[in-house]
Amino acid sequence: MISNIMTMVRKELIDAARDKRSVMAGLYYAIGTPLLMCGMFMLLIGQISSPEDLNIKIENGERAPDLVKYLSSQGITHGDEQDKSLDVKDIRLIFSDDYAAQMAKGLSAEVTLVADNSNEKLQNSIRRLEKNLQTYSAEMGSLRLIARGIDPRVVQPIKVNVEDQATPDSKGGVILGVATMTMIYAVFISGMNLAIDTSAGERERNSLALLLSHPVSTRNIVLAKVLAVTIFAMLGLLLTLIISKLSYSFVPWQELGFTVSISTNFILLMLLIGLPIAIMAASLQLFVSFMAKTFKEAQSYLTLVLIVPMMLSMAASYNIAPDTLQWLPVSGQQQALIAFIKGREIPMLQLLLSSMTTLVIALGLTFAMEKSLKSEKIVFGL
Amino acid sequence: MFHGKANESEISMADIITTTSPLKFLIGMIIISLSALSPSVFAKQDSKIDESRVNHCYVDDLAERLKCGFISVPEDRTKPNGKQIDIHYVVLPAIKNGANSEAFLAIAGGPGQSAIDNAAGFSRMFSKVRQKRDILLIDQRGTGRSNVLNCEGEGFEEALSINEADFDVTKETQACLDKLDADVTQYGSLNALEDFESVRQHLGYRKLHLYGISYGTRMAQLYMRKYPQVLSTVTIDGVVPMQQSVLAIGNAINRAFELLIQNCDENELCGKQFPNLKGDLHKVDAELTLKPAISQVRDPLTGESTQLTMTRSKFMGAIRMALYMPNVRALIPHAISEAAKGNFQPVMGLYSLTIDSTGIAMGMHASVVCGEDWQRLTQEERDAANQTYFGQEMITNFEKSCAIWNMPAVESSFSAPISSNIPTLALSGQIDPATPPSWGELAMEELTNAKHFIAPYATHGVANQSCGNDLIAQLVDSGSVEGLDRSCLDKDVRRNFYLNASTVEAIPDKADAPKETKQADTRHTAEQGDSHD
CB-based contacts of B169: which residues, under 8 Å, 6+ apart?
A: B22, B24, B25, B28, B396, B397, B400, B401
Q: Which of A217-231, A337-351, B32-46 is most confident?
A: A217-231
| Phi/psi at B354 (5° precision) | -95, -5
pLDDT tens per residue, range B453-510: 999 999 888 998 888 999 999 999 999 999 899 898 998 888 899 999 999 988 887 6
**A200: pLDDT confidence band, cut at 50, 70 and 90?**
confident
Q: Nearest Cβ partner of B501 from A70, A147, A154?
A: A147
Cross-chain Cβ contact A156/B9 below 8 Å: yes
Q: Which amino acid is at A56?
A: I
To the nearest whole Å, the CA of B495 is away from the closest chain A CA by 6
Long-range CB contacts for residues A98-103, cutoff 8 Å, separation at least 24: A98/B513, A98/B515, A98/B516, A99/A60, A99/A63, A99/A64, A99/B505, A100/A63, A100/A64, A100/B503, A100/B505, A100/B506, A100/B507, A100/B508, A101/B508, A101/B513, A101/B515, A101/B516, A103/A64, A103/B502, A103/B503, A103/B504, A103/B505
Percent of residues in chain B assigned helix, strand, coil, to nearest 5: 45, 15, 45
B479: enclosing H helix or E strand: none
Indicate left, alpha or beta for A198 from its phi (over 0: left) and psi (-120 to 50: alpha).
alpha
To the nearest whole Å, the CA of B79 is away from the closest chain A CA by 40
* Cα Rg of chain B, angstroms: 24
A363 or A208, greater pLDDT: A363
Asked which of A50-54, A136-140, B341-345, B502-506 is least confident by mean pLDDT, the reply is A50-54
Does the pLDDT of residue A254 top 50, yes or no?
A: yes
Per-residue model confidence (pLDDT) at position B422:
94
- Local structure of A250: helix, strand or coil: coil
Q: Which of A21-30, A114-123, A143-152, B43-52 is most confident?
A: A143-152
Strands B56-59 and B62-74: antiparallel
Q: How many residues does chain B have?
A: 533
Compute the distance between CA of residue A16 and CA of residue B95 in angstroms, rounded to an integer: 45
pLDDT tens per residue, range B163-196: 888 878 888 888 888 888 889 899 999 999 999 9
CB-based contacts of A377: which residues, under 8 Å, 6+ apart?
A: none
Question: Dihedral (C-alpha) A274, A279, A284, A287: value to the nearest 10 degrees?
Answer: 160
Strands B134-138 and B84-92: antiparallel
Per-residue model confidence (pLDDT) at position B495:
85
To the nearest whole Å, the CA of A265 is away from the closest chain B CA by 15
**Is the separation of the CB atoms in B200 and B107 below 8 Å?**
no
Chain A contacts of B41, Cβ < 8 Å? 142, 152-153, 156
Does the pLDDT of residue A150 top 80, yes or no?
A: yes
pTM for the model stands at 0.80
* Cα Rg of chain A, angstroms: 30
Residue environment code for B87-112, b if the CB has 16+ CB neighbours within 10 A, otherwise e: bbbbbbbbbbeeebebbbbbbbbbbb
- Local structure of B386: helix, strand or coil: coil
| Phi/psi at A92 (5° precision) | -115, 140
Q: Sign (positive/negative) of CA torsion A347, A348, A350, A354? A: positive
pLDDT tens per residue, range A270-297: 999 999 999 999 999 999 888 888 888 8
Chain A contacts of B301, Cβ < 8 Å? 151, 153-154
Compute the distance between CA of residue B72 and CA of residue B63 in angstroms, rounded to an integer: 28
Per-residue model confidence (pLDDT) at position B62:
86
Per-residue model confidence (pLDDT) at position B156:
54
To the nearest whole Å, the CA of B184 is away from the closest chain A CA by 34
Compute the distance between CA of residue A365 and CA of residue A185 in angstroms, rounded to an integer: 20
Q: Mutating which of A45, A143, A148, A250 best tests the B interface, going by the most B Cβ atoms within 10 A?
A: A143
Domain boundaries of chain A, sorted by first residue? 2-45+168-379, 50-155
Within 10 angstroms of residue A250's Cβ, the number of other Cβ atoms is 12
**Average pLDDT score over residue span A220-230:** 88
**Average pLDDT score over residue span A234-250:** 89
Question: Dihedral (C-alpha) A289, A293, A296, A299: value to the nearest 10 degrees?
Answer: -20
What ranges in chain A are assigned the alpha helix state H?
2-18, 20-48, 65-73, 99-104, 120-147, 168-171, 173-190, 192-196, 202-204, 208-212, 218-248, 264-291, 295-305, 307-317, 331-341, 348-372, 376-379
Residue environment code for B21-51, b if the CB has 16+ CB neighbours within 10 A, otherwise e: bbbbbbbbbbbbbbbbbbbbbbbbeebebee
Q: For chain A, give the percent of residues with pLDDT over 70.
A: 97
Cross-chain Cβ contact A131/B5 below 8 Å: yes
* Alpha carbon B403 to chain centroid, angstroms: 26
To the nearest whole Å, the CA of A77 is away from the closest chain B CA by 13
CB-based contacts of B194: which residues, under 8 Å, 6+ apart?
A: B73, B77
**Is the separation of the CB atoms in A1 and A215 below 8 Å?**
no
Q: Sign (positive/negative) of CA torsion A218, A223, A229, A231? A: negative
Which residue of B lies nearest to A145 if distances are taken between CA atoms?
Answer: B349
Taking the Cβ of residue B40 and every Cβ of chain A, the question of whether any pair is shorter than 8 Å is answered with: yes
DSSP A138-160: HHHHHHHHHHTT--GGGG----P
**Average pLDDT score over residue span A255-267:** 81
**A185: pLDDT confidence band, cut at 50, 70 and 90?**
confident
Asked which of A215-219, A299-303, B123-127, B514-518 is least confident by mean pLDDT, the reply is B514-518
Q: Which of residues 64-83 of B touch A (CB under 8 A)?
A: 64-65
Per-residue model confidence (pLDDT) at position A1:
66
Size of interface A-B (CB pairs under 8 A): 177
Within 10 angstroms of residue B327's Cβ, the number of other Cβ atoms is 22
Asked which of A176-180, A197-201, A255-259, B408-412 is least confident by mean pLDDT, the reply is A255-259
Across all residues in chain A, what is the average pLDDT? 84
**Is the separation of the CB atoms in A135 and B9 below 8 Å?**
yes
How far does chain A reach from its first CA to its final CA, in angstroms? 31
Per-residue model confidence (pLDDT) at position B510:
61
Query: How far is CA B477 from each of CA A61, B103, B104, B232, rounded to the nearest angstrom?
Result: 37, 12, 11, 10
Compute the distance between CA of residue B505 and CA of residue A103 in angstroms, rounded to an integer: 8
**Average pLDDT by stretches of 10, chain B with 533 residues:** 31 31 38 38 36 66 88 90 92 78 91 89 90 92 90 66 83 86 91 94 93 93 94 93 88 92 92 93 93 91 91 91 90 94 93 75 89 88 87 87 88 91 94 92 92 92 89 92 90 89 84 46 42 40
Cross-chain Cβ contact A153/B42 below 8 Å: yes
Does the pLDDT of residue A109 top 80, yes or no?
A: yes
Taking the Cβ of residue B57 and every Cβ of chain A, the question of whether any pair is shorter than 8 Å is answered with: no
Chain B contacts of A152, Cβ < 8 Å? 1, 9, 11, 41-42
